[in-house]
Amino acid sequence: MVYKRIFPFFLIIFFSACIEQGEFSRTEFALGTVCTVTLYEQGKNSLYNDIFSRIREIENLMSLNISSSDISRINSNAGIKPVSVHENTFKVIERAVYFAQLSGGAFDPAIGPIVSLWGISGDNPRCPSQEEIDKILPLVNWRNIELDANANSVFLTQHGMSLDLGAIAKGYAADAAAEILKNAGIKRGLVDLGGNIIVIGEKKDKSPWRVGIQNPYGNRRDFFGIVHTDEKTIVTSGIYERNFEEDGRFFHHLFSPFDGYPADNGLISVTVIMDISMEADALSTAAFVLGYEKGLFLIESIPGVEAIFVFNDRSVQVTKGVEFTITDNTFFFR
């Protein structure tokens, strides 16, 4: 009963807010997630078409689920031969390897065998046996990715290795979408590729953007706090994205390449705020896997990067440059 009364009221607020801002946005499913682009005031269909075809182009190059993608071709040639790829793919893999090194291997684009063993992206995820994990864990090693910048080629030196760009490709696509939008002279816009958010330009009244941060325990779009920011990317890695329970134990999709299990260190999400979405994507995953202390050390070692760490007791820690308000009072600052 309460639900019925609240619902129409909520809708009215939402639509009047849209009309006031002249907002128009497009949402499509791509890169395995919900992608929304909003061009405040200047939303032209042709521009949305350009942005979404660029996102599809990136998906066709980097998706594991497309057999002709660069990533699938690299993986099926693991231990066999180097594969020449599109310069976009090469760039993302090169940066992924850079962040693997920078994070001491916590972020590892060669995580593929562990992700498939847990079946985390399919319909039947399961907790594998220790033996199964021990057997394939040595295949997860970014040092065995050979890059040749002259040929734009990538070689996985061990048979059975596989790349998974799930933790970085959405960020790259978000940067690409934002670039198209800026080149078209758009003054205000928002790109949201499954939680990889970029705000572009400034609001009409010059007040800071207010970006809701996903409640790791809530449903999608259920936020627990708001970041106040100027033009930046805001990227969150959390346990809410893909998870399952088995025998009363909770498992999620952010794996530690060191032991082959979902990272279990008291964190439930890490949000990174900076200028480049691809880097924020890699860093949010890296910091999550590293855990609070090492993750914070990594974040603070890079100029211009801020972060919000959320723990399983609902406490929150932010770096010095973040302006963050908690709106759900079951969460609290440490």
Question: Residues in the site for ligand ADP, rule: CB under 6 A?
Answer: 107-109, 111, 115, 164, 166-167, 170, 194-195, 237, 241, 253-255, 257, 281, 284-285, 289
164 binds, among ligand ADP, Mg ion, none (CB under 5 to 8 A by kind): ligand ADP
Strands 332-333 and 315-318: parallel
Other CB atoms within 10 Å distance of the CB of residue 27: 12
Question: Closest approach of Cβ 43 to ligand ADP, in Å?
Answer: 26
Question: Closest approach of Cβ 103 to ligand ADP, in Å?
Answer: 8
Is 316 a binding residue for Mg ion by CB under 5 A? The answer is no
* Residue 159 tokens, joined: 């048979």
Is 108 a binding residue for Mg ion by CB under 5 A? The answer is no
Is 88 a binding residue for Mg ion by CB under 5 A? The answer is no
| DSSP track, 129-169 | -HHHHHHHGGG--GGGEEEETTTTEEEE-STT-----TTTH
Question: Closest approach of Cβ 96 to ligand ADP, in Å?
Answer: 8
Please tell me the distance from the alpha carbon of residue 61 to that of residue 69, in angstroms, as a whole number: 5
The interface with Mg ion within residues 255-314 (CB under 5 A) comprises: 281, 284-285
Dihedral through CA 11, CA 12, CA 16, CA 19, nearest 10?
60
> For ligand ADP, which is the closer residue by CB, 100 or 186?
100
Which value, in Å, is the radius of gyration of the alpha carbons in the chain? Answer: 20
From 67-75, 164-172, 241-249, 286-294, give the range in contact with Mg ion by CB under 5 A. 164-172
Question: Applying CB under 5 A, which of residues 31, 58, 100, 167 lies at the interface with Mg ion?
Answer: 167
Where on the phi/psi map is residue 195: left (φ > 0), alpha (ψ -120 to 50), or beta?
Answer: left
Contact present, 26 and 37 (Cβ < 8 Å): yes
> For ligand ADP, which is the closer residue by CB, 194 or 295?
194
Is 111 a binding residue for Mg ion by CB under 5 A? The answer is no
3-state secondary structure 31-55: CCEEEEEEECCCCCHHHHHHHHHHH
From 22-30, 72-80, 165-173, 268-276, give the range in contact with Mg ion by CB under 5 A. 165-173
Question: Closest approach of Cβ 39 to ligand ADP, in Å?
Answer: 23
254 binds, among ligand ADP, Mg ion, none (CB under 5 to 8 A by kind): ligand ADP
Please tell me the distance from the alpha carbon of residue 285 to that of residue 247, in angstroms, as a whole number: 26
Measured CA distances, 293 to 108, 240, 309, 317 (Å): 19, 22, 10, 11
Sequence-distant (≥ 6) Cβ neighbours of residue 70 within 8 angstroms: 61, 62, 83, 85, 86, 89, 154
> For ligand ADP, which is the closer residue by CB, 37 or 100?
100
From 147-155, 186-194, 235-243, 325-333, give the range in contact with Mg ion by CB under 5 A. 235-243
> For ligand ADP, which is the closer residue by CB, 47 or 279?
279
172 binds, among ligand ADP, Mg ion, none (CB under 5 to 8 A by kind): none
- The site for Mg ion (CB under 5 A) is made up of 167, 237, 281, 284-285
